[in-house]
Amino acid sequence: MWSPTLLTGVALGGMLGALARYALGAALAPLVLKSGFPWVTLLINVSGSFALGLLSALALRGTVSPEARAALGVGFLGAYTTFSTFSVDLDGMLLRGDTLRAGAYLLGNVGLGLLAALAGRVVGR
């Protein structure tokens, strides 16, 4: 279960997921600054939910090896998505009294994330 291949895959996947998240955040930073809304975190969490739903469906079909699932799911997507940033962003909106945006952000991350995971699973079938 804890083979060197599996651990290396998770480590490399995590590195690439973190780099992808950083690059997307840097590329979209002007949008966030202009709008004051954490679009990057929302986009990352929804796209990551879709990708993990797809990966899970493919794994259930047996088309993805356990090593690839660990590298992509735990490694890449674990580093790419970010529940902690979502939580801090939401807390900041609530502290500023921006309840309408906070509600939209909460529903966007949870609702769209769930829909994206379901869509990924359907596509994976």
- The crossing angle, in degrees rounded to 10, of helices 99-107 and 83-95 is 160
Axis-axis angle for helices 113-124, 39-61 (nearest 10): 30
- To the question of whether residue 81 is assigned a binding role by annotation, the answer is yes
- Tokens 């990924």 sit on residue: 120
Rounded to 10 deg, the angle between the 4-35 and 39-61 helix axes is 150
Q: According to the annotation, is 78 in a ligand binding site?
A: yes
Residue whose structure tokens are 């979502």: 86
Residues in the chain: 125
Residues comprising the binding site for Na(+)? 78, 81
Residues comprising the binding site? 78, 81
